[in-house]
Amino acid sequence: MLSSQNYMTDFNFPLEGTYTELPDVLFSKLSPTPVSQPKTIIFNQKLADEIGFDLSGASEEVRTLFFAGNLVPHGTAPFAQAYAGHQFGNFTVLGDGRAIVLGEHRTPSGNRIDLQLKGSGRTSYSRGGDGRAALGPMLREYIISEAMHALGIPTTRSLAVVSTGETVYRETELPGAILARIAGSHIRVGTFEFASLQGDKAVTQALLDYLIDRHFPKIKEKENQPFALLEAVIHQQAELITHWMRVGFIHGVMNTDNMALSGETIDYGPCAFMDTFAPDTVFSSIDHKGRYAYANQPYIAQWNLARLAESLLPLMDGKKEEIITMAEELLNSFEQIYKSKWLSMMGSKLGLSEVGKEDEKLITDLLDWMHKNSADFTNTFLNLCKEEIPEGVLYASEDFQNWHSRWQNRLSKEEQGLESSFALMSLVNPAVIPRNHKVEEALQAGEEGNFKPFHDLLNTLEKPYEDSDHLLPYQTPPEPGEKVLQTFCGT
């Protein structure tokens, strides 16, 4: 076992803990549980440089102990957060059952970000769990979160994965690991649900003030701050879900405790990217009714925001009936806000700088054709990014040829010209995504000690909008025997 005793006296890395200035009920202070044989699988040096996370003065052994949770910097007060959540529509009290925030790091630009260790041992909220994580799911989160960042989608990010040298027991014995994750914060809709559950307005008010100060400072100038926050979050989440839909991403478990109010995608459990276009696509092994299917994601976001509104209602100024009416009207605005963003996004995927009413049918007709013909979502738009008509049996059909002629006619009316339209398309249509069969291939190899497929996949995903011949093995849809039909949470 790597011992931290020799390093305790000289290891000092400044991490703040402003969250622990909130009411005690919102968190529990505790340290990670040391592991027996930590070993760094990957350290994200590029990310560390971006956020000014300088561990250059520490040896690799010390860095490993740090990310394993065996070595806690002097002056820090690690904590697990309490929260509640609607999981598949059912309310339950939760909390960080296997994750501990070491503290908050200040980036060179002055932003405050959380550093959290996922899989770092039992907490007050573990509910009988072992508080540990398996290597496969931690590698999955590393791959997907870094891919999402490269795709230009707000997300938590992965700083390191450390194997623990210990076994975790799920349906089988699996190698253990810890993920070092950074986030704008880990405040969720479920955090406000938990605060509201306390029956003390002061707790919710303190959390609201903290969230506004950390993520929405302009709201401090508003009179009805809870209402202003709800409005801001509605726009924020509509933007995030639009990004997901743009690249065919399916979160898998959009519980209220998995909606971060930092506006970032958080908690990559049974997530996946769509291959063939099908709006009802579901990957989560426990989503039997399709609640979190691809096409349902905007509706679930609105449902989750209604739970946030319920938690904020006691803090809103005015008569109860009037407040409820105002909140309902605001929540109902989500649908139009999202649709406007979605149409603009889909227009960009087809090279349209502005989308009019007549363009909606052009967009939906293409999606209907894709669905009917089981066309690959990513590759269809990638193929449209070329001036010549796509080749292949699928594109030779009369339906597609007619649609393509209509689209070309519409593009000819763009003031900026074809070159500008195709340039726009190349900015929003990725050439490569982390396809599920390639992710699973990398995870299985990693669990067996071979990390080459993992690193090869990461390298491929670094510049997803730059098409190249070397990407071909990662662009090819899975063969029937390679298809991943279900993904698992990995808890």
Show which residues are catalytic.
257
* Structure-token pair, residue 58: 């520490």
- Residues 117 and 179 sit within 8 Å (Cβ to Cβ): yes
Residue 365 identity (one-letter amino acid): D
Q: How large is the angle between the packed helices 201-215 and 225-247, nearest 10 degrees?
A: 60
- Measured CA to CA, the distance from residue 339 to residue 100 in angstroms comes to 37
For β-strands 157-169 and 249-250, DSSP reports them as unpaired
171 CA to centre of own chain: 26
Any bridge partners for residue 101, and if so which? Answer: 79, 116
Beta strands in 293-347 (DSSP E): none
- Measured CA to CA, the distance from residue 327 to residue 319 in angstroms comes to 12
Helix (H, G, I), strand (E, B) or coil at 168: strand
- Measured CA to CA, the distance from residue 113 to residue 407 in angstroms comes to 44
Rounded (10°) CA dihedral 74, 19, 127, 263: -120
* Structure-token pair, residue 297: 């994601």
Beta strands in 11-156 (DSSP E): 27-29, 39-43, 79-81, 84-87, 90-93, 99-106, 112-118, 133-134
- Find, among 70, 94, 99, 97, the residue nearest to 84 by Cα: 94
Q: Rounded to the nearest 5°, which phi and psi values hold at 437?
A: -70, -30
Measured between its terminal Cα atoms, the distance across the chain in Å is 25
For β-strands 99-106 and 157-169, DSSP reports them as unpaired
- Residues 277 and 371 sit within 8 Å (Cβ to Cβ): yes
Burial of 489 (0-12, 13-18, 19+ CB in 10 A): middle
